[in-house]
Structure 1
Amino acid sequence: MPSPSTPLFRFGVVADPQYAALGPNLALDRYPAKSLAKLEEAIAEFNRHDLAFVVTLGDIIDGGWESFDLVLPVYETLRHARHFLLGNHDFAVAAEHLTKVANRVGMPSAYYDFAHAGYRFIALDGNEISLFAPPEGDPRRDDAKALMKALHDAGALNPHRWNASVSDAQYTWLAAKLQDAKAAGEKVIVMNHYPIFPENSHNAFDSDSMLALLAEHDHVVAYLSGHNHAGNFGVVDGIYFINFKGMVDTEDSNAYAIVSVYEDRLEIAGFGREESRVLALQALNETSGIF
C-alpha cells in the first residue's frame, strides 16, 4: 500500500493548445502558431516524470485539417500513454472532415472511459449538440439552437455558438458508467472540454443536468475541463471542478499541469500560468460552494 507521501499515480494535463499556422489573435491574446513550441516544452517536462498518461482536454488545433499534420507528430515524442478529448476548434475544418476528427486524432471513439489504479476516468464528447460538430442538416444543430434560445430566454450566461452539450444517449451512457464505477469500488474523474461549474459564459449548455447527475454520486472526485482559457475552479456537492488555463494564450508563457493522485488528496503542480493546488479528498463531502 503506498504511503501518504507516495502518490498512487500521476498524470499530465494540457488544455487548449489550439495550434494553427496563423498569426496572433491580439484581441484575445492568443498565439496559435507558438503552441508547437509550448507543447514541445510541456512534453519535455512530462517525459522527465513517471506518468500514467497525459490528457489533452480539447482544442488540439485552432482550425484547418492540415493543422493536425503538424501538431500530432509532437505528441509522438511523448513517452507516456496519451488521451485526447475534442473541443469546438477541432471541428473548425472542412465539412467533409467533420465526422473524421476523432479517428484522425486516434481516439477509440468520441467519448470513452478507462480505468487506472482504482480510478475510472470518463472522457466526454461535449460537442454532440452544437452548431459546429454535426454535419450540416443534422437535427442536432437544431437541438443546439433550441437549447441556446431556452438559455437566452432564461437569462443564462452561456447561450453562445462556441458552447455545446452531450446528447441524451451520451448522458445515459455517462449515468451507466458512473454506476459501473460505483459497483467496482472505483473513484471517478470526469473529463470534458466544456466546464459546467462555476457558472460562466463558457459552460456547456447542459451544465445544470450534468451537475445534478454528478451530485448523485459520492465517488466522483473531480471534473476536469478546458475551453475557458482564463481557467476557473470551484467545489460543489463534494466534487472539485478544475478548469485548466489555455496553452495558446499569451505570447511567451506556457500553461500545463501534472496531477498527483494520493489516497487522501489530489496535488496539482501547475507550470507557467497554471495554478498549483492541494485538494483534500477526505473533506469533499463536507464542503460546498466556490473556493
Structure 2
Amino acid sequence: MPKPFLWLLLFGLSLTANRAFSQTTSPLFTFGLMTDVQYCDCENAGTRHYRSSLRKLTEAVQTFNQQNVDFVVHLGDFIDHDVSSFDTLNALIKPLKSPLYQVLGNHDFSVKQEEIKKVPDILRLKNRYYTFARKQWRFIVLDGNDLSVYGQVNNSKSHQAATQKLVDLKARNAPNAQVWNGGLGEKQTRWLKKELDLAAKRNEKVLILCHFPLVPEKDQHTLWNDQEIRTLLENYPNVLAYLNGHVHVSSHLTHKGIHYVTFRGMVEQEDNGFAIVEIYPDYVKINGYAAETNRILKKDAGK
C-alpha cells in the first residue's frame, strides 16, 4: 500500500474515531441548579448571610448565561421571609436567558396568611407540583409543603390534616416532627405514582426534584412521609436520583440504586454555591461551583 494512501486512511479513521468520541462525551443537555437563596434584608444570623445572597444570585445568573444552560432549577426557599423579598429576587433573575423552574420551599410561605395562596403565582408556577421532560429524561417536581402547618391557610382542611399529622409524628417521637417540615398529601402521592408509571412506559429516566430530603433515616429535616415516598420511588428502576435543598449542607447518599443528593444552601456564609448539571444518556455529572461539590451519578452506584 503506498504511504500517501496509508496516511489518508489513518487520518480518516482518526476523524471517525474523534467524531464518535465527541458524540459520546457531549451531554444531551445541561441545566443550572441552585437552592436556598433564602434572601431577606436582614443582618447575618449564624452561618446565614442573608444580604450576600443578592451578590451570589447575580453571579449564578451570569454563569448560567455564559455557559448557555438549557434551563435552571431552584430547589426551594427563594426567600427567608416577607413577600417583598420576592420582588428583589425576581428583578435579579430577569437577565436569565433560560427558563427557570422553581421548587417550593418552607420559607417561601413565610408570608402573611392572606399572601400564602399568591406565592405560586409570584414564582410564576401554574401548579405547586408538576413535571417536564427533555430528551428521554423526566423531571418530577414535588411540593413538600403540600401537607404542612404553614403552606396552607389556617382554616383549610389541608391545614387541619397537617396539624393532626404533626401531632401523630410527635407522639411517635419522630425526629422530623418539626414545624418547618412538610409532606406529600394523598392526592399528590397518587399523581406521583401516575407520573412514574408513565415515565416507565415511555422508557424515560427520572430525576425527582423536591425541597426536602428523604434520607438519611431518622433525620430531623426529611419529609414527614419520607419512608412512604422513598419506598414508592425505589419500585422504579428508571429513577436515577432525588435532588433537594433544605439542609444547607452538600451531601450524597445512595439507597437501593437511587442517588439522594442535597445541595448547599446559597445563603450559607460568604462563599457562593451552585452547580451546572450535565445530562448524558446513562448518567448525570454535577459540576459544582465555589463551595458546591462535583459528583457523578450512575445507576449502578449504591447497589
TM-score between both structures, scaled by the size of structure 1: 0.93
Q: 2:32 aligns with which of 5, 8, 12?
A: 12
Of residues 126, 130, 133 in structure 1, which corresponds to 2:148?
A: 130
Structure 1 contact 189–223 (Cα < 8 Å) conserved: yes
8 Å Cα contact 2:286/2:296 also seen in 1: yes
Determine the C-alpha separation between the residues in 2 that align with 1:116 and 1:31.
35
Alignment of 1:141-290 (within 5 A): 141-199=159-217, 200-250=219-269, 252-281=270-299, 283-284=300-301, 287-288=302-303
Aligned counterparts of 2:127 and 2:142: Cα–Cα separation in 1: 10
In the TM superposition, residue 141 of structure 1 has moved relative to its aligned partner by: 2.5
**1:61 maps to what in 2?**
79
Q: Residue by residue, what CA displacement relative to the aligned partner does 1:142-173 show, whole Å, maximum 9, x if unpaired?
A: 32233223333334321100000011000000
Q: Which ranges of structure 1 fall in alignment gaps of 5 or more residues? A: none
The runs of 4+ residues in structure 1 deviating greater than 2 Å are 1-4, 139-156
Offset of residue 108 of structure 1:
2.0
One-letter identity of the residue aligned with 1:269? N
Q: 2:125 maps to which residue?
A: 107
The alpha-carbon deviation at position 107 of structure 1 amounts to: 1.1
Is the aligned partner of 1:86 residue 2:139? no
| In structure 1, distance between residues paired with 2:52 and 2:152 | 29
The CA deviation at 1:219 is: 0.6
Q: What is the CA deviation profile of residues 121-155 of structure 1, one whole-angstrom value per residue up to 9, with x for unaligned ones?
A: 01111101111011012232232233223333334
CA contact (8 A) 2:240 2:298 kept: no
Give the whole-Å Cα distance in 1 for the aligned partners of 2:91 and 2:110. 20
Give, in whole Å, the separation in 2 of the partners of 1:171 and 1:64.
Answer: 30
CA deviation map 1:57-91 (0-9, x unaligned): 00001110111110011111111111001101000
Q: String of CA shifts for 1:70-121, please: whole Å, max 9, x gaps.
A: 0011111111111001101000011111011001111121111001111110
Query: What is the letter of the counterpart of residue 245 of structure 2?
Result: G
SS in 1 for 2:33: strand
Match of 1:24 in 2: 44
Match of 2:74, SS state, is strand
Name the CA distance, whole Å, in 2 between partners of 1:222 and 1:279. Answer: 8
Quote the sequence identity (%): 34
CA distance in 2 between partners of 1:3 and 1:238 (Å): 27
Q: State the SS of the aligned residue for 2:281.
A: coil
Matched, 1:97 2:135: no
Shift of 1:184: 1.1
What secondary structure is seen at the aligned counterpart in 2 of 1:4? Answer: helix
What SS class does the counterpart of residue 24 from structure 2 fall into?
A: coil
- AA paired with 2:285? E
Structure 1 vs Structure 2 CA RMSD: 1.4
Structure with higher Rg: it is 2
Distance across 2 between alignment mates of 1:187 and 1:42: 27
